[in-house]
Structure 1
């Protein structure tokens, strides 16, 4: 389900802005309108924000990103186009309807904290609730829970001036959480923080989003922040959205030279994931097969070690050629007792930067598994090196084609 939908949305400032929209649709540029005293802040913007995702709008100063977020919560009225929040048309809402939307559906976290200096942390966190007329006891309860979620339990009676910048921003975040809205708008929320605190706040935001399932529209000019936070990213330039995609799509498939130049200095090891660089399987062995089959598979593919999986692709471990050969000599009929369950494994969301030390410490391939320990892929040391050297989003297979020994071909490779 889409929480926010924008279709062909424009915002032009100045006299008779509708004429500016018509001119833009006929091919006029921002500069053409500027000569006539009109400012085209947002031009023909179309995007969807899915429920429960972090959608980042990224752009330089003047790109239109802050204007865009202010149209979403009704602080600015679009000049033309469609803008909906959970299906309700923001463009046609009156003042009362906008107040209800902000109270029940959309909350906002500001760049410069926007705290009341003479009110306590608890009172600041509950400020939005008191405006709604919610009983004092419920306000306090919800504010305390929100402060606990952002790591400020015990600070309820302190004043903002007693807090660090990062802690004050946590109060702003708690205030938005206490409001109980499904959608949170964050306009350059962390840009005023120093780098270390900024990273802590980014980590906390991702953690909270995973726990609470909030829909977050996040505005930033910091590309690394966008890449780190965004499930998807909209890149803006001169009022237009020039590309929407995941961090990896924008990094590896830039839509134009502007995006390409923008991403050229990004630390790709912090963007590329295990899921994007894992290789397809050469071979695996089913846990119900015997050592003779395992030996045959390893000889056929010239492998010294192979993953062992159940029929549902659950990873059981790996076997190596020495143990398999000994089991064959002993006449063993199963792999019992020779499967090594100490296989290094990572989630598909793990960043390449996390894989580097693991890959360097072990000559064996890393297993990529989901939460249920189902084998999704494998990453050999050569695959990590290839990803670093080529800066590619999805590594190609290092070896041949899949061997269909016991489970479907979607199971990933154990490298040589």
Structure 2
């Protein structure tokens, strides 16, 4: 199977704040090290970041406050122009795009949702959702039809004439999501969209987000500082520190093989039972099929009861039912509680 062409490609992206970012980069061969920033009055907010995002993928970018994750998303969209590097959208170099071209791209190809809902308080739900279409010059009939569709999609049917002050925080965020989807974007950028919500509402919005993605299959870059949220939503996760992309991997690889101590600390309390698959920890030596078998793609939490109650290794099978390895009680315990932690 051939790898699809990336929807977004970032190549050696830098965003430096200070009195002379371009000169600072040039003086250090366009690859300054951490020590070079000391005493320079420059801050490396995004430092030589490269990655691809593929069609239909949810890429999570996370890190602590000040790690550069929000600056990165603003650099990709050129809300803040990068100091150096390349950003390609469907092969088009955004660094060479004029302001008029960028406006058109944001109006037609990009949807954005931020932590603060940014709803217009004097407009109703329907009017808020229709607003980007109004800016784009759509007819009243077209924008109201589309807005009604989006309001229904996010589960707010019946509240079209409510004002933001009459909605809960979760409902306001749904309006923000509907508004960002109204233009039919190819790519969806979300910057900590649920972090201001209470835990129960946040979980509800994560469920809603996953439901929408099943329907819409958007290409998504999602910023968060919450690792549980990252592993629940993301196809891949990128962890940033001091402006650098420390590791980019699937949740399973990141939890089982952290790149360094910083990533290891991030993943220390990860729910391994919901992230790691049986196939990742099973012995590669097959055992005979005996009627009680486990799919390699099953999460270890789903298989734990069967494995821990058996005195013998249990066959692990692929999707075609062929034995490809085995898992036993000791392996399961080690997978659930690495380093002897219980």
TM-score range, shorter chain: 0.7 to 0.9
Q: Deviations over 1:330-389 (max 9, x none)?
A: xxxxxxxxxxxxxxx8793x544444567789999698776xxx4377986736444314
Matches within 5 A, 1:149-228: 149-228=153-232
Maintained 8 Å contact 1:359/1:366? no
Q: Secondary structure at the match of 1:169?
A: helix
Q: CA deviation at 1:391?
A: 8.0
Gap change, CA 1:162 and 1:72, over 3 Å in 2: same
What is aligned with 1:148? 152
Relative to the length of structure 1, the TM-score reads 0.72
Give the RMSD, CA atoms, in angstroms: 2.8
What is aligned with 1:283? 288
Larger Rg: 1
What is aligned with 2:74? 70
What is aligned with 1:129? 133
What is aligned with 1:329? none
Q: Secondary structure at the match of 1:234?
A: strand
Q: Deviations over 1:84-117 (max 9, x none)?
A: 1111111111110001110121110010111111
1:47 to 2:51 alignment: yes
Q: Unaligned regions of 5+ residues in structure 2, if any?
A: none
CA distance in 1, matches of 2:118, 2:306: 43
Gap change, CA 1:186 and 1:77, over 3 Å in 2: same
Please point out which of 93, 99, 106 is paired with 2:97.
93
Gap change, CA 1:177 and 1:262, over 3 Å in 2: same
Q: Unaligned regions of 5+ residues in structure 1, if any?
A: 285-304, 308-317, 319-344, 393-416
Q: Secondary structure at the match of 2:7?
A: strand
Relative to the length of structure 2, the TM-score reads 0.87
Q: Deviations over 1:229-275 (max 9, x none)?
A: 11111111101111111111111111112111221122212322355
Matches within 5 A, 1:230-309: 230-277=234-281, 281-284=286-289, 305-306=290-291
What is aligned with 1:340? none
